[in-house]
Structure 1
Amino acid sequence: MTKTTFDQLGVIAPILQAVSEEGYTHPTPIQEQAIPIVLRQKDLLGCAQTGTGKTAAFAIPILQLMSAQARQPGVPKIKVLVLTPTRELAIQIGESFSTYGKHLKVSNLVIFGGVPQGPQVKALKAGIDVLVATPGRLLDLIGQNFISLQDIGIFVLDEADRMLDMGFIHDVKKVVAKLPAQRQSLFFSATMPPEIQKLANTILVKPEKVEVTPVSSTAETIGQSLYFVDQKEKKKLLIHLLQDKSIERVLVFIRTKHGADKLVKDLHKAGIAAEAIHGNKSQNARQRALSNFKSFHTRVLIATDIAARGIDIDDLTHVINFDLGDVPETYVHRIGRTGRAGNSGIAIAFCDEEEKDNLKAIQKLIGFAIPVVEAHPFLPAASEMVQFRAPKNKATVAPANSVPAPQGDRDRHSRHNKKKAPARDERQAESSRNQPAPAAKEKQAPAKEPHLSKEKPAAHKPKHGTSKERHSHPQEKQAHPQEKRENSKDNDNFWLDW
């Protein structure tokens, strides 16, 4: 089957040249569907998560529409507004407009909080065509009469669900109220909860919908594995895995800002270059850490969820969930940083006893039991591991296979291998929320510890404010309060769930 090319989508020559110079020839699915819709100047509702190429899906056609407009004499007025929740994502969107529009006379500016507003105000007074902004700084500069939205012809709301998570929905509504009624609106969200759908209905007019990679799915190119480990041993397990020098870069997700800083110190003591990125870091520190990670000067980047939202790292092959998120969709977003656009990737999750319910929710969402690594040096005291129930009518094996554990670990833990039975594949009954279904007879072989070796990507793929964090209490030792699920009667038998 012949793949679609960008020129077949009607993209003009200057943008085609820029795309080609970046090494791209074929659009991603969302680009293939969205670009023609935007070029027809229709409203668009896009359901797509980070990593699908959605930034180029709106940046390329917007640049083309802007280039077709006659330049008016005098200072350019803002014609396009892109509203996004975080400064990191705003910067990356601005870079995409600069990259794809480098052969066009279309100017763009990125504004966000956490830095002095002087340079941003100076650039605004000089005039720009495309403004990429976070809600807080945008409303601040509007209030000071430095920004007018009366000439906006295209409005893009990106990461709408994260706007809701971060408490920015009211700010978004304030911005929308200041926009001209006659405009083209593009609305992107990874998930569509009722409040986000309601917001979309107030912004869009007869939109065309594009849906790519639902949040409940994980890329088939990502090899997933699960390590059961006591909370106090997670740091040692991470250091153990990082002894594999073939892991050139790894993004590690952790629950709290305090925990991220502490883990950085522990890794430094072990001789491993690491930096943290979270909401308490200054903008310069966050950008420096991200730049060092992208350029391979830092091997490990430790991030909280909100700080990492929108981070796009080319050819990132490894993601480690040091802590499991309380929201199951978070797991899909996290591991989606690797295995992008057909490239291979490895996603590893650590799970302690108190994260059992989080794991159950994740496996229910993705539709299969994540393979368990049973041979590693930091197994809990009770060696029997547990595979939780997966929902009916869905695959019960991971979409990619893990490779065998290193020989040293297999020898060192042969006693565990002799005693253990393979973890069972259990399915959850749909007829009752409270009563667990009997275990299925079909068995699934446990995963071995992966080598975590990096694979080269098939080809170069498209790239693609002030934030608050919901968790800021220390990570150490104390338990994080979590709501107990109705069917979690086996809390005392986490490691012996047979």
Structure 2
Amino acid sequence: MTKFTELGLAAPVERAVVDEGYETPTPIQVRAIPPLLQGKDVVGIAQTGTGKTAAFVLPILTRLLAEKKQAPGLSCRCLILAPTRELAAQIGDSIAVYGRHTGLTHAVVFGGVKHGPQVRALARGLDILVATPGRLLDHAADRKARLDLTSLVVLDEADQMLDLGFMPALRKILHMVGKPRQTVMFSATMPPPIRALADDFLRDPVTVAVTPQSRPVERIEQAVLYVGTAEKRQALIDLMAPEAKKSTIIFTRTKRGADKVAKFLAEYGHKAAAIHGNKSQNQREKALAAFKAGEMRVLVATDIAARGLDIDGVELVVNFELPNVPESYVHRIGRTARAGAQGRAVALVAPDERGLLQDIEKLTGLRIKGLNDAPPISGPTRPVQPQRGQRRGGQGGNRQGGQQNNAGGGQKRSRNRRRKPGGGQGGQRQSA
């Protein structure tokens, strides 16, 4: 069995790995680190939770130490692009941990916050810059950032950047980056536009694929609850009553829907908060921190929380609405059963979502068990339309400044039967 000490990492980097208590690398780390250390372009196909962040951060730190170059003003030696603010911040945290003994500098740049601190960090020059595409292009347009001196680029969660409409921005940024360069791409799936991007900008890349594309974690117990659209909220309350003490993430299709579900849950005694692209960075960070600390048991989110976020201890994932893109379902339920733990995922499926469920089952190759029988569908149903910024087979939408666009796919306003708050809610949880 391979050990981290056998991978050829720089001594300060290896020391940080030991400090974290890690001895054995994951499969993606074993296969990706050697070619990255050799300076080769790499395409990595791996889902979140497989250790892929360390798979590129550790060799990047080692290579930058070996080069012993000065960080250029207004620029960076290495650029890491991420689709969301949360993932960018999480990558920055990993760099801080693994690079604590290296003396290398880094900064994280994304939208939703003031430009000033980011501009000052860029002016000094950085060894590593982590950024969302929109905000980086803003700085470049203002001549506060230049990329012609950058020699190493990483695209993380490339397929999610496609879903969010970042493909034009990615191509523009890659044209701005200097040559020769080392280019690395990590993606959970490899749709044709991502493959085309790799063909255009990577040189004879080494492909590393360590997990089947878009297959759910086998430890997740999946189930479906068939309900009418108007009964979804009451069904959610009934589902959550015995689960009140469990750490739960509930996914909705729209930002407005996330706010409504969080408010509804709070009326029934659940301490919940919503996280989506319209929330300020401070609101998002505060909600995530409270959820991770166990101070709040329920997080209601759009797909902004489906990818890349490393949140341990999530016991239940509820799909209040199925996503329009079946791959997104895989990423959503992947928030549970992490680090060897068990997990459960339940989807509330309305009649007009049956087709989406079939797409998910076709993609995963699994028949998801029903907690109840699916009632017959009477009359035609209105199909759920793909929302702007997502795709079924192509690219759509646009997004700037690291904020997710969940517009479109609007929900139908319904009159739901409600129980009075506090009436019959077994196992409610008091504030921690």
Question: Structure 2 length as normaliser, TM-score?
Answer: 0.85
Larger mean Cα displacement after TM superposition, 11-20 or 98-107: 11-20
User: 1:153-189, CA deviations, whole angstroms, 9 ceiling, x for partnerless residues?
Assistant: 2110112112221111111111111111201110112
Larger mean Cα displacement after TM superposition, 307-316 or 77-86: 307-316
Paired residues of 1:49 and 1:189 also in contact (CA < 8 A): yes
- 2:326 is matched with 328
Q: 1:179 to 1:76 in 2, by over 3 A?
A: closer
Q: Does 1:147 align with 2:145?
A: yes
Q: C-alpha distance in 2, partners of 1:71/1:182? A: 16
Structure 1: gaps of 5 or more residues: 384-464, 479-498
Q: How far did residue 316 of structure 1 move?
A: 2.1
- 2:403 is matched with 466
Q: C-alpha distance in 1, partners of 2:186/2:71? A: 33
User: 1:429-481, CA deviations, whole angstroms, 9 ceiling, x for partnerless residues?
Assistant: xxxxxxxxxxxxxxxxxxxxxxxxxxxxxxxxxxxx12212436345339xxx
Pick aligned residue for 1:215 from 207, 213, 220: 213
Which amino acid counterpart does residue 119 of structure 1 have in structure 2?
Answer: P
Larger mean Cα displacement after TM superposition, 214-223 or 72-81: 72-81
Paired residues of 2:74 and 2:145 also in contact (CA < 8 A): no
- Counterpart secondary structure, 1:167: coil
Q: 1:238 to 1:17 in 2, by over 3 A?
A: farther
Which amino acid counterpart does residue 172 of structure 1 have in structure 2?
Answer: L
Paired residues of 1:306 and 1:468 also in contact (CA < 8 A): no
- Counterpart secondary structure, 1:161: helix
- Counterpart secondary structure, 1:225: strand
Structure 2: gaps of 5 or more residues: 378-401, 416-432
Which amino acid counterpart does residue 473 of structure 1 have in structure 2?
Answer: G
Paired residues of 2:75 and 2:123 also in contact (CA < 8 A): no
Pick aligned residue for 1:298 from 293, 296, 299: 296
Q: C-alpha distance in 1, partners of 2:336/2:215? A: 14
RMSD: 2.2
Which amino acid counterpart does residue 248 of structure 1 have in structure 2?
Answer: K
Paired residues of 1:255 and 1:475 also in contact (CA < 8 A): no
- 2:94 is matched with 96
- 1:80-159 to structure 2, matched below 5 A, reads 80-159=78-157
Paired residues of 1:215 and 1:332 also in contact (CA < 8 A): no
Pick aligned residue for 1:476 from 400, 413, 426: 413
Which amino acid counterpart does residue 404 of structure 2 have in structure 1?
Answer: S
Paired residues of 1:279 and 1:307 also in contact (CA < 8 A): no
Paired residues of 1:215 and 1:329 also in contact (CA < 8 A): no
Q: How far did residue 27 of structure 1 move?
A: 1.5
- 2:363 is matched with 365
Paired residues of 2:274 and 2:301 also in contact (CA < 8 A): yes
Pick aligned residue for 2:182 from 174, 184, 195: 184
Paired residues of 2:72 and 2:149 also in contact (CA < 8 A): no
Q: C-alpha distance in 2, partners of 1:222/1:297? A: 24
Q: C-alpha distance in 2, partners of 1:18/1:330? A: 33
Q: How far did residue 309 of structure 1 move?
A: 3.3
Q: 1:261 to 1:219 in 2, by over 3 A?
A: same
Paired residues of 1:268 and 1:274 also in contact (CA < 8 A): yes
Q: C-alpha distance in 1, partners of 2:111/2:322? A: 29
Q: How far did residue 104 of structure 1 move?
A: 1.0
- Counterpart secondary structure, 2:352: helix
Which amino acid counterpart does residue 322 of structure 1 have in structure 2?
Answer: F
Q: C-alpha distance in 2, partners of 1:73/1:307? A: 33
Which amino acid counterpart does residue 24 of structure 1 have in structure 2?
Answer: Y
Q: How far did residue 28 of structure 1 move?
A: 1.5
Q: C-alpha distance in 2, partners of 1:350/1:466? A: 27
Structure having the higher Rg: 1
- Counterpart secondary structure, 1:146: coil
- 1:244-393 to structure 2, matched below 5 A, reads 244=242, 247-306=245-304, 308-374=306-372
Paired residues of 1:294 and 1:313 also in contact (CA < 8 A): yes
Paired residues of 1:78 and 1:152 also in contact (CA < 8 A): yes
- Counterpart secondary structure, 1:156: strand
Q: C-alpha distance in 1, partners of 2:355/2:253? A: 16
- Counterpart secondary structure, 2:126: coil
- 2:422 is matched with none
Q: C-alpha distance in 2, partners of 1:191/1:382? A: 34
Paired residues of 2:244 and 2:270 also in contact (CA < 8 A): no
Q: 1:39 to 1:326 in 2, by over 3 A?
A: same
Q: C-alpha distance in 2, partners of 1:363/1:74? A: 50
Q: What count of residue pairs does the alignment treat as equivalent?
A: 391
Q: How far did residue 15 of structure 1 move?
A: 2.0
Paired residues of 1:247 and 1:318 also in contact (CA < 8 A): no
- Counterpart secondary structure, 1:110: strand
Q: 1:353 to 1:77 in 2, by over 3 A?
A: closer
Paired residues of 2:75 and 2:125 also in contact (CA < 8 A): yes
User: 1:369-395, CA deviations, whole angstroms, 9 ceiling, x for partnerless residues?
Assistant: 111113xxxx88779xxxxxxxxxxxx
Q: C-alpha distance in 2, partners of 1:307/1:317? A: 15
Q: C-alpha distance in 2, partners of 1:117/1:97? A: 22
In percent, how many aligned pairs have the same letter?
Answer: 48
- 1:399 is matched with none
Q: C-alpha distance in 1, partners of 2:20/2:237? A: 36
